[in-house]
Structure 1
Amino acid sequence: MRHYEVVFLVHPDQSENVPAMMERYRSMIEGADGKVHREEDWGRRQLAHAINKIHKAHYLMVNIECSQAALDELVGAFRFNDAVLRYLVIKRDKAITEVSLMAQAQEEERARDEAAAIAQAERAKIASERAPEAEAAPEAEAEAEAAPEAEAEAEAAPEAEAEAEA
């Protein structure tokens, strides 16, 4: 059996049917004694140019090991499925199981987004903790400003009493 890498684009309106389509294609390959080594869903992406006036598509990639007959059956299924806009089959020398660059980039982007969300949540938490302090700060400043005036009055009071007694 030979190894292949298959990339296909699904119509964006059919994105909710992608898991069922992948399961159908996987069972088709495994039913013909083939193996699926890697399966990646790259999600909805912008097309380089419009296909049938469609500017986005759902990208999927599968690395398989199967016979020529099973591959022909898979390609026939792609051709007769209107939801599949384009497909590409590449013959490989060996099975590829490591994560692709596209999937790595998506993971990094997802991790970056999660880190940004966590940082934003922490900033909001700190801001909410500082809010009561910020409300108390003007009161403390007003007391601090009033304190020197009160001390000055207190210092002047004994002098005034001494003058009154004399």
Structure 2
Amino acid sequence: MNNYELTLILNPDLSTKFDDFQAKFEKTLTDINFKINKLENIGRRQLAYSILNHNKGHYAILQIEGPSESALELESKLKYDTSVIRHLLLKVDSPSLEDSLLLVESREAKKSPTEDPKQEKPKVTPAAEKNTDETAATEEPEGEE
């Protein structure tokens, strides 16, 4: 049995129906002898470039385990699944049980808009600091005269 990491970019319209897709996809994986070790539902994110006329995509990362013979079958099923915009199946040495960076970033992004207004402080520009230093330097000699 080999360990794989499967990254999916799904049609953004599936964001509301992800649970249905997940159940269907889990059945597909078990039918071809794969076992899901971990599933990260990252959610809807902006794409770097348009893929199949989509500017956003629903991301999901799965840690799966299964025979190498089934990997080709999984690839072909993903290739012809209309709800999958892009996929990447990588063979890994050991499954990572830590949260992915995308999941951590999406959690922080959800938290930060509510926290930012409280922590926001006025910023001093370097030009303003330079002007205060120059005026202080010019004032000192005047006081000595």
TM-score (ref. length: structure 1): 0.62
- CA deviation string 1:23-56 (max 9, x = no partner): 2222233344432121111111111111122211
Matches within 5 A, 1:109-128: 109-113=109-113, 115=115
CA distance in 2, matches of 1:20, 1:117: 37
CA distance in 2, matches of 1:18, 1:72: 24
Larger Cα Rg: Structure 1 or Structure 2?
Answer: 1
Q: Counterpart of 1:107?
A: 107
Structure 1 vs Structure 2: percent identity of aligned residues? 26
CA distance in 2, matches of 1:65, 1:9: 20
Matches within 5 A, 1:33-48: 33-48=33-48
Q: Report the CA distance between 1:72 and its aligned residue.
A: 2.5
TM-score (ref. length: structure 2): 0.69
CA distance in 1, matches of 2:117, 2:19: 28
Per the alignment, do residues 52 and 110 of structure 1 end up closer, same or farther by CA in structure 2, a change over 3 Å counting? closer
3-state DSSP of counterpart to 1:76: helix
CA distance in 2, matches of 1:103, 1:116: 20
Q: Report the CA distance between 1:57 and its aligned residue.
A: 1.0
Per the alignment, do residues 20 and 69 of structure 1 end up closer, same or farther by CA in structure 2, a change over 3 Å counting? farther
Q: Counterpart of 1:6?
A: 6
Per the alignment, do residues 63 and 13 of structure 1 end up closer, same or farther by CA in structure 2, a change over 3 Å counting? same
Mapped contact 1:28–1:70 kept (Cα < 8 A): no
- Write out the 4+ residue segments of structure 1 that deviate beyond 4 Å after TM superposition: 113-119
Q: Counterpart of 1:162?
A: none
Q: Name structure 1 gaps, 5 residues minimum.
A: 120-166
Greater fraction strand: 2
Q: Counterpart of 1:28?
A: 28
3-state DSSP of counterpart to 2:17: helix
Which protein, 1 or 2, shows the higher relative CO under an 8 Å CA cutoff with sep ≥ 6?
Answer: 2
- CA deviation string 1:84-134 (max 9, x = no partner): 111111110011111111112222333334556999xxxxxxxxxxxxxxx
- Quote the RMSD (CA, aligned, Å): 2.3
Q: Name structure 2 gaps, 5 residues minimum.
A: 120-145
Q: Report the CA distance between 1:79 and its aligned residue.
A: 1.6
Greater fraction helix: 1
3-state DSSP of counterpart to 1:112: helix
